[in-house]
Amino acid sequence: MKTRDLEQGDTWRLEFDESIVPDHPTPGWEQYIRNTCAWFKCTKPFRQNCKQCSRAPMEKPSITSENIDILLENLVEKIRIKCYHEDLGKEYRPFVSLDVKSPHEPDHCEACMAG
């Protein structure tokens, strides 16, 4: 289901908010955390730094447009269930995996460093 297929007339857009802190939503807001496959896993565009360079800057992830589409489809389904009380009776669409050449290293991950 795409956002354009909703009959309620609501509009939605994907917007990254760097100030969001996981597990601490602003009063009146709901938290919806899903991972997608980017160059590393992320729930908000958390950054990571180089595993080989010392004092390397944190870099933002690159997320494929296909995975953004899947993320939005899953979000719309969650909104339809939570806000419009619809029973969709189906599972989330899985993300497209990338061939990651090395394992996750918490010492280089912004999300892990934040706890």
Each residue of 5-47: pLDDT tens digit? 656 666 667 677 778 888 888 888 877 776 655 444 335 678 8
| Domain positions in the chain | 1-8+32-115
DSSP state of 5: G
Each residue of 84-111: pLDDT tens digit? 788 888 776 777 777 767 777 888 888 8
Decide: 97 and 37 in contact? Cβ < 8 Å.
yes
Distance, CA of 20 to CA of 1 (rounded, Å): 27
Please name which of 97, 88, 96 lies closest in space to residue 1, comparing C-alpha atoms.
88
Q: Give buried/exposed letters for 3-19 (b at 16+ CB in 10 A, else e).
A: eeeeeeeeeeeeeeeee
pLDDT at res. 26: 84
